[in-house]
């Protein structure tokens, strides 16, 4: 199988610290080009051994030798550049959240369909080895029927001038950043979106939510999560069932090859621990590069992306109104 030649749009921290080191280890991918209007692309290209550096993203998208692009722009730019990349015939791995609204989702999906390319929301945690084991434990009935599911994702943000996640109008805030992981995980493990949600966000001094918490009503299952930019690192998931519970101690963004533990506790007190070391970015890159070669839908994990947008839309309404809000995923989006 041929190697996918990747272009990286921008020299953002996540590209340098996580994506580029991971693609260097991937078996079926290589970093072939990088672009930045800041003038830093040649420096980063030398650092990572990337053969081509461009002073504009348009130049990279026009390169016929690039198969796929990694798009780690600020959230409010995702839809525009995903459409541009699709129109240029490039497959797209776009950092979460893919887009903020269902209208933008439709625009991106239509562009990918027109161009015959794949677009995927970059939730790297889905591809870590621990995620598959947790799915197996749930589907095999080890914890019985799920009763409740709880997620937590916090870190201490380094507040630098111009940080887009703290600027109103750029689709930032805790919910649109770390909260997206919590929403995605709860919907995935429960197997459907909640019917209603209630959310509340706070901030010490910033004009966006920097800490928030939510209750997700799945009917017979209760979901909760909290997330934010203020506290020490925490990224846990706990799934409680009628026969036991599963706890993930580094659920979302463990360091590459960091040892993480999934703990299974039975109702009778028995306990079993599973330890994994993996690089979730490497696994994500290899998975998407493989999917590019295969026949399939324009958007892998489309249903989870749709549900995530719908849940976040309802939670934003709830944070404004102070009231629970219904979650609505349009029927036409569910028709695959």
Q: Does 332 have pLDDT greater than 80?
A: no
Residue 188: predicted pLDDT: 98
- 322-334: average pLDDT: 83
pLDDT in tens, 151-165: 999 999 988 889 999
pLDDT in tens, 82-113: 999 999 999 999 999 999 999 999 999 999 99
In this prediction the pTM is 0.96
Residue 257: predicted pLDDT: 87
Tokens of 312: 């976040």
Residue 184: predicted pLDDT: 98
Residue 4: predicted pLDDT: 98
Q: Set out the domains of the chain in order of their start, with CATH numbers.
A: 4-125+284-299 (3.40.50.720), 126-279+310-334 (3.30.360.10)
- 55-69: average pLDDT: 98
Q: Does 42 have pLDDT greater than 60?
A: yes
Q: Does 54 have pLDDT greater than 80?
A: yes
Residue 52 pLDDT class (50, 70, 90 cuts): very high
Q: Does 197 have pLDDT greater than 50?
A: yes
Q: Does 286 have pLDDT greater than 90?
A: yes
More confident residue, 285 or 257: 285
Q: Does 331 have pLDDT greater than 80?
A: no
pLDDT in tens, 120-147: 999 999 999 999 999 999 999 999 999 9
- State the residue for tokens 């299974």: 264
Q: Does 335 have pLDDT greater than 70?
A: no
Residue 334 pLDDT class (50, 70, 90 cuts): very low
Residue 268 pLDDT class (50, 70, 90 cuts): confident
Residue 1: predicted pLDDT: 63
Question: To the nearest whole number, what is the mean pLDDT of the chain?
Answer: 96
- Report CA-CA distances (Å) from 118 to 26, 60, 110: 19, 18, 11
Strand 196-202 relative to strand 325-326, pairing: antiparallel
């Amino acid at each position: 199988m041929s190697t996918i030649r990747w272009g990286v749009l921008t020299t953002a921290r996540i590209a340098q610290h996580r994506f580029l080191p991971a693609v260097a280890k991937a078996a079926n991918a290589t970093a072939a080009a990088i672009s930045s209007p800041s003038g830093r692309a040649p420096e980063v290209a030398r650092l990572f051994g990337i053969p081509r550096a461009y002073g504009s993203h348009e130049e990279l998208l026009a390169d016929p030798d690039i198969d796929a692009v990694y798009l780690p722009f600020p959230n409010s730019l995702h839809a525009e550049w995903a459409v541009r990349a699709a129109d240029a015939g490039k497959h797209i791995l776009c950092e979460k959240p893919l887009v903020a609204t269902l209208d933008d989702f439709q625009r991106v999906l239509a562009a990918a369909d027109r161009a015959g390319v794949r677009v995927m929301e970059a939730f790297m945690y889905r591809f870590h080895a621990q995620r598959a084991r947790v799915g197996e434990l749930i589907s095999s009935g080890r914890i019985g029927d799920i009763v409740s599911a709880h997620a937590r994702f916090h870190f201490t943000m380094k507040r630098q001038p111009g940080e887009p996640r703290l600027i109103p109008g750029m689709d930032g805030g805790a919910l649109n950043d770390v909260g997206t992981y919590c929403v995605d995980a709860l919907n995935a493990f429960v197997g459907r979106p909640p019917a209603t949600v209630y959310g509340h966000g706070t901030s010490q001094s910033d004009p966006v939510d920097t800490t928030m918490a939510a209750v997700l009503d799945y009917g017979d299952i209760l979901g909760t999560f909290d997330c934010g930019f203020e506290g020490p690192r925490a990224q846990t998931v706990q799934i409680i069932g009628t026969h036991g519970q599963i706890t993930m101690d580094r659920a979302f963004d463990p360091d590459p090859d960091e040892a993480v533990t999934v703990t299974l506790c039975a109702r009778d007190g028995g306990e079993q621990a599973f330890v994994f070391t993996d690089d979730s970015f490497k696994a994500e890159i290899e998975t998407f590069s493989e999917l590019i070669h295969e026949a399939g839908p324009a958007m892998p994990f489309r249903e989870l992306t749709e549900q995530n947008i719908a849940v976040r839309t309802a939670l934003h309404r709830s944070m404004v109104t102070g009231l629970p809000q219904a979650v609505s995923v349009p029927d036409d989006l569910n028709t695959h």
